[in-house]
Structures are given as C-alpha cells and as structure tokens.
C-alpha cells in the first residue's frame, strides 16, 4: 500500500515538474505563430525527458549515488567543473524565468509591477525551502499543480479539428519565418529537457531512499508522468492556436497569455491562469533551486539534503539561498521575463550534449549499474534527440538574435 501511494504521488510530482512557465510560454508562442505545426517538438521533448528521467531514477536506485556525485567521481574535477558551470548558467536563466513567472502571476492578481514582486516571490520560495521537508515539496506543491489541467479543459472547449491536431505531430518544414520557427522548436525541446529536472529527480530518489525494488515504479513515473505532462504542454499549444490563430496575433508579452483561458472560460479564466502559472512556477522554482544546490553540494562533497535542518547542511542551505535571491534580483532589473524565458529554453537545448553525454556514459558503466545498464534503443533515442536539438539551436539562436 505504501509503495502504491508513493507511485501515485511520484506520477503527480513528475507532472508538476514538467509543466512550468517555459512550457506554457513556448507552447503559446508556437500555437499563435504556427498553429498546430510544432506539436511534433512537444512530442520529441516528451519522449526524451521520459528516457532521461527513467535513466536518472534507475541510476540512483541501483547505484545509491546521484548523477552529480558519479560525474565527479567518474570523470574527475575538471569535467565536473565544466559541466557544472554550463548547467549552472543555463539553470540560473531558467530559475530567473520561473521567479519571473511567479511575479507575473502576482502582477495579474494585483495589477502592480512585475519587478516589485520578484524578491517577495523569491523569499516565499526560500521560506518553503528552509522550513518544509522534501516530501512536502515533492507532493504538496505538485498536487496543487493539478490545477493546470484547466488547459486541457480549455482546449476541449475550443473544439480543435482532430485531424489537423494529429497532423501537427508529423514534422514539417516551416511555411513562414523559418528562423523563428526553428528557434521556437528548440525552445519547446529545451523547456521539456531541462537538466535540472533529471538532476532533481536523481537526488530525490536518494532522499526517498530508493533501491532496486523501485525500478518498476520508476518506469511508470517516467512513462505516465512525463506523458501526462507533455499532454498538458500540447494542450497549451492547441489552445493558443485556437485563441490567437484566428486573430493573426503573436504572443509578445506575458499579459497576452491571459486570453488563453478568458476566451474559453470568461473572466474566471483570469484566476484559473493566475493559479496555474503561480503554482506551476513555484513548483519549478523550488525544483530548479534545489537542483542547482544539489549540483554544487554533491560535486564538492558537502552535506546536503532538504530533510536536514539548515544548520546541519549550512553550506547547502546557503547555496540555495544565494541562488534564489540572485534569480529574483535579475528580474528586479526590469528584464522582460518572456525574453528571459525564450533564451533560457533555447540555450538549454544548445547545452544538452554537454549535460546529457556524461549521463549516457554512466548509464553504460557496469561498475555503477551492474546488469541494469542502458540498451541500444535508450542510448540512440537520447543521443539523437539531444544532437538534433543542439544543431538546431546553434543555427537558430544567432538567426533569431540577429534577424528574428
């Protein structure tokens, strides 16, 4: 019974970690500018993150080690520092976008400026990290995140054509704005395959004391949880296509996102979106902050653990405090949170080979995994998707910056 409950909560956790401001914003931009044409990018990102989550959970359950700890041990300090530096920069951009998303939700609710709310939002998340347990963060915030299912309900209310939606899952060349098309495509993939998600998942498995008896549950979480999260992102894209497409309107600012739910639900849609974005971004903020703190503490051999009192892992607590306040300060400067989100997701895709390749090597190392190493399909799928995303990102980011 206990494991069945943990399975249900684990699925909810994976859903809460998948859908956040990056997924919502990039899906909305894709739907507004290209209709259903970029649904294939959501599918690609979902498949890849499902494989990566399964791998990171399997690694932790079999080896009793986190991914970061093993990278430091297997490849040495230099490789760890390079990987940690790249993941740290990308994750800080992502975290700033998530704190900005919380501030945007508070802006919608109160009418006050976004920069005004960034530090209070960061401090609220910090209070949770200081006083809550890992189980509270893992399950409580994620359960609240089920409010995002309203995106699916809104999509159904807009009556999209099933045939046209199905055709969107087949990759096609852009009909217009090719640089922008590929930039949005890699942003969607980057939003789905953020390294912080599988680093957090690996560390969470250690916090929850997983062993090989959890391997079956791990596969279900990866398949059903990430599949459900991908379905929510796809629903956001379809909903945006039905709301903005007929008006020929692009999503250039976060305030335009309000129309996604006010069109199908009326004024109450504002509060549905405030709750959806606020809770989703809070969950993602906690997850990314912990992932970055795990990355530093595990690589440097410090005490770490969300269930420990801050005085027992003071350097770990100080790390996530500094990271979170820095992310809030970045949004306080007045940077456009939507532009921060777009660039964070695209650079995440560009950095995927650096963050994923060490994981693939570890997943084929019998020293850690014994008889549970990767098969050919797992290696080929992840390596192919990450390579494709990196190539597209390296081409589309300069084009988007220079001429997009």
pLDDT for position 334: 82
Measured CA angle at 341 (ends 126, 122), to 5 deg: 15
Q: Which two tokens stand for residue 310?
A: 């801050």
Q: Are 377 and 157 in contact (CB under 8 A)?
A: no
Q: Which domain holds residue 62?
A: 2-403
Cα 21 to the center of its chain, rounded Å? 8
In the chain, the number of structural domains is 1
Residue 31 phi/psi, 5-degree rounding, is -65, -40
Q: How far apart are alpha carbons 114 and 261 in whole angstroms?
A: 21
Local confidence pLDDT in tens for the 404 residues of the chain:
555 555 554 555 555 556 777 788 888 989 999 999 999 999 998 888 888 889 999 999 999 999 999 999 999 988 899 888 888 888 898 899 889 999 999 999 998 888 889 999 999 999 999 998 887 777 777 777 778 889 999 999 999 999 999 999 999 888 788 888 888 888 888 778 888 888 888 888 888 888 898 898 888 888 888 888 888 899 999 999 999 988 888 888 888 888 899 999 998 989 999 998 898 888 889 989 999 999 999 999 899 988 888 888 899 999 999 999 999 999 898 877 777 777 777 777 777 777 788 888 899 999 999 899 888 888 888 888 777 777 777 776 676 666 44
pLDDT for position 402: 60
Q: How far apart are alpha carbons 85 and 48 in whole angstroms?
A: 23
CATH of residue 309: 1.20.1740.10
Q: How far apart are alpha carbons 139 and 144 in whole angstroms?
A: 9
The conformation of residue 139, written as its DSSP 8-state character, comes to I
pLDDT for position 12: 52
In 3-state terms, what secondary structure has residue 358?
A: helix
Q: Are 245 and 32 in contact (CB under 8 A)?
A: yes
Q: Are 344 and 97 in contact (CB under 8 A)?
A: yes
Instruction: Give whole-number Cα distances, 63 to 147, 213, 364, in Å.
Output: 36, 13, 12
pLDDT for position 237: 95
The per-residue b/e assignment along 295-308, b for 16 or more CB within 10 angstroms, e otherwise, is bbbbbbeeebebeb
Q: Which two tokens stand for residue 202?
A: 């690996």
In total, the chain counts a number of residues equal to 404
Give the burial class of 143: count Cβ atoms within 10 A of its Cβ; 0-12 exposed, 13-18 middle, 19 or more buried. middle
The helix (run of H) or strand (run of E) holding residue 99 is: helix 77-110
Q: Are 317 and 153 in contact (CB under 8 A)?
A: no
Q: Are 297 and 313 in contact (CB under 8 A)?
A: yes
């Amino acid at each position: 019974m206990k494991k069945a409950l943990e399975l249900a909560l684990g699925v909810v956790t994976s859903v809460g970690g998948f859908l956040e401001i990056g997924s919502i914003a990039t899906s909305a931009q894709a739907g507004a500018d290209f209709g259903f044409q970029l649904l294939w990018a959501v599918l690609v990102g979902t498949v890849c993150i499902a494989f990566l989550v399964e791998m990171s959970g399997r690694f932790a359950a079999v080896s009793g080690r986190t991914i970061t700890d093993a990278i430091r041990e297997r490849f040495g300090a230099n490789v760890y520092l390079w990987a940690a530096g790249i993941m740290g920069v990308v994750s800080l951009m992502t975290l700033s976008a998530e704190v900005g998303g919380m501030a945007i939700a508070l802006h919608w609710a109160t009418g006050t400026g976004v920069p005004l709310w960034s530090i209070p939002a960061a401090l609220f998340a910090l209070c949770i990290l200081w006083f809550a347990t890992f189980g509270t963060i893992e399950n409580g915030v994620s359960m609240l995140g089920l409010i995002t299912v309203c995106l699916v309900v809104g999509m159904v209310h807009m009556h999209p054509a099933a045939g046209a939606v199905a055709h969107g899952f087949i990759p096609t060349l852009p009909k217009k704005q090719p640089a922008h098309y590929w930039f949005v495509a890699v942003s969607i993939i980057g939003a789905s395959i953020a390294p912080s998600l599988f680093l957090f998942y690996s560390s969470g498995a250690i916090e929850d004391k997983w062993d090989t008896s959890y391997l079956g549950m791990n596969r279900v979480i990866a398949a059903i949880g990430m599949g459900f999260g991908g379905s929510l992102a796809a629903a956001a894209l379809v909903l945006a296509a039905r709301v903005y497409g007929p008006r020929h309107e692009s999503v250039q600012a976060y305030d335009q996102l309000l129309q996604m739910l006010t069109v199908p639900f009326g004024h109450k849609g504002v509060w549905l979106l405030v709750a959806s974005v606020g809770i989703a971004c809070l969950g993602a903020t906690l997850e990314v902050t912990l992932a970055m703190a795990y990355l530093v503490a595990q690589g440097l051999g410090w005490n770490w653990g969300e269930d420990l009192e801050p005085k027992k892992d003071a350097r770990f607590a100080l790390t996530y405090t500094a990271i979170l306040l820095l992310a809030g300060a970045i949004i306080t400067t007045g940077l456009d949170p939507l532009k921060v989100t777009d660039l964070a997701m695209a650079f995440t895709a560009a950095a995927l080979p650096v963050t994923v390749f060490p994981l693939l090597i570890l997943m084929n190392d019998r020293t850690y995994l014994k008889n549970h190493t990767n098969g050919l399909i797992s290696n080929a799928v992840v390596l192919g998707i990450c390579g494709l995303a990196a190539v597209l990102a390296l081409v589309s980011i300069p084009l988007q910056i220079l001429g997009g």
